[in-house]
């Protein structure tokens, strides 16, 4: 175990003498020496769809158009593709429907065509639809496995006022985390972004990637969710931009003017979000031991650091344990418990 009793003030005073070399004003990076073909970690290839400017004559027509968009991602070997909220009933000209007539017992009219796509292309699919459970109708996100089977279902916890008036039932305030072969994932849908409980619950349950099918793009609100909860967030929208956000809130990839309807990009699940202080005193030892196998990127004003494995044999959890470090999430949970205990004592 590594430890340090150096004070924050003394450390910063000493480091300022050589800050340019040590990297305090900017970020630490040891990854430039990695070459193609090295033992790089397994990345997760994530695809997402926007139906911006896509119109259809009816829901089956929209489903076929979305399947056509997804075919563009196949050469990139996606591990998972996310579709927009209630996409089959969006952007349909002169189409009016009764909720009770379109809500499906999963898998139904909307979900079934995507079972075959998932099986054929060996990828997970997140397919939103109206789902029927007894007397209740939910806005749902159905997770389809690589084998083309229904693997789980999330029900939107916070429907908008108009959706409640339509007869939508709110989902339970305990969103599930789904186990995949590349890690734990969760889902929030559209207006869920406005409330804390779903995001907090998914992070507490260990979700590494949270998918957000939506009617709109979310913008900076989504970016802020990513860094606040230290998770990748993938949006899939009916209009404007669909994007993949890093755990820092920065955009990894997004749709736009020249590629409006899909993106597919890799993310690295071997990342940790840690408080820079007091871990920074251990960074030289970590860099000396692991060199180009590991990247440390420090955001100086925010005082957080991203630790990322660049080697398939190096697990970030092992590095944290070796140097007696904790993630930001673990640190804040422990600190909150200490605050509560101190307050009760007072």
- Per residue in 24-44, pLDDT (tens digit) is 222 233 333 334 445 777 899
**How high is the pLDDT of residue 38?**
56
- Predicted structure pTM score: 0.88
Concatenating the DSSP letter of every residue in 241-266 gives --EEE-TTS-EEEE--SSS-SEEEEE
Strands (E), the chain: 44-49, 80-82, 124-133, 136-144, 150-155, 178-180, 183-187, 209-214, 232-237, 243-245, 251-254, 262-267, 271-275, 294-299, 304-309
**How high is the pLDDT of residue 343?**
81
**How high is the pLDDT of residue 344?**
81
**How high is the pLDDT of residue 65?**
98
Q: Are 202 and 175 in contact (CB under 8 A)?
A: yes
Q: What parts of the chain have a pLDDT lower than 50?
A: 1-5, 11-37
**How high is the pLDDT of residue 7?**
57
Strand partners, 243: 254
Task: Tell me what the pLDDT averaged over the chain comes to.
Answer: 89
- Per residue in 303-330, pLDDT (tens digit) is 999 999 999 999 999 999 999 999 988 8
- CA 203 – CA 186 distance, rounded (Å): 9
- CA 52 – CA 166 distance, rounded (Å): 24
Nearest CA-CA partner of 246 in 264, 228, 230, 262: 230
**How high is the pLDDT of residue 8?**
53
**How high is the pLDDT of residue 339?**
86
- CA 132 – CA 137 distance, rounded (Å): 5
Residues 6+ apart with CB under 8 A from 255: 48, 50, 52, 241, 242, 243, 261, 262, 263
Distances (CA, A) of 223 to 117, 193, 266, 305: 30, 11, 18, 17
């Amino acid at each position: 175990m590594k430890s340090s009793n150096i004070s924050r003030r003394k450390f910063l005073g000493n480091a300022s003498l050589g800050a340019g070399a040590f990297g305090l004003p900017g970020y630490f990076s040891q990854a430039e020496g990695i070459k193609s073909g090295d033992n790089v970690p397994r990345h997760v290839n994530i695809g997402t769809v926007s139906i911006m400017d896509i119109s259809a004559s009816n829901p089956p027509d929209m489903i076929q158009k979305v399947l056509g968009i997804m075919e563009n991602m196949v050469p990139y070997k996606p591990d998972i593709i996310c579709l927009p909220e209630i996409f089959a009933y969006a952007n349909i000209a002169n189409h009016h429907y009764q909720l009770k007539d379109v809500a499906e017992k999963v898998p139904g009219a909307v979900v079934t065509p995507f079972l075959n796509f998932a099986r054929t292309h060996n990828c997970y699919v997140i397919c939103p639809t109206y789902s029927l459970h007894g007397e209740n109708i939910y806005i749902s996100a159905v997770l389809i496995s690589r084998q083309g089977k229904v693997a789980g279902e999330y029900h939107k916890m916070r429907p908008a006022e108009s959706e409640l008036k339509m007869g939508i039932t709110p989902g339970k305030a305990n969103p599930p985390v789904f186990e995949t072969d590349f890690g734990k994932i969760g889902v929030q849908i559209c207006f869920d972004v406005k409330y804390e409980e779903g995001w907090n619950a998914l992070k507490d349950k260990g979700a590494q990637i949270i998918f957000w099918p939506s009617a709109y793009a979310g913008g900076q609100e989504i970016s802020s969710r990513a860094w606040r909860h230290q998770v990748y967030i993938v949006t899939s929208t009916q209009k404007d931009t669909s994007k993949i956000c890093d755990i820092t809130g920065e955009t990894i990839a997004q749709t736009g003017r020249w590629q409006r309807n899909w993106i597919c990009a890799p993310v690295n699940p071997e990342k940790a979000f840690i408080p820079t202080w007091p871990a920074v005193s251990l960074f030289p030892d970590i860099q000396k031991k692991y060199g180009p196998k590991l990247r440390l990127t420090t955001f100086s004003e925010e005082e957080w650091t991203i630790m990322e494995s660049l080697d398939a044999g190096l697990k970030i959890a092992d590095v944290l344990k070796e140097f007696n470090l904790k993630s930001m999430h673990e640190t804040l949970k422990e600190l909150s418990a200490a605050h509560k205990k101190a307050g009760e004592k007072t």
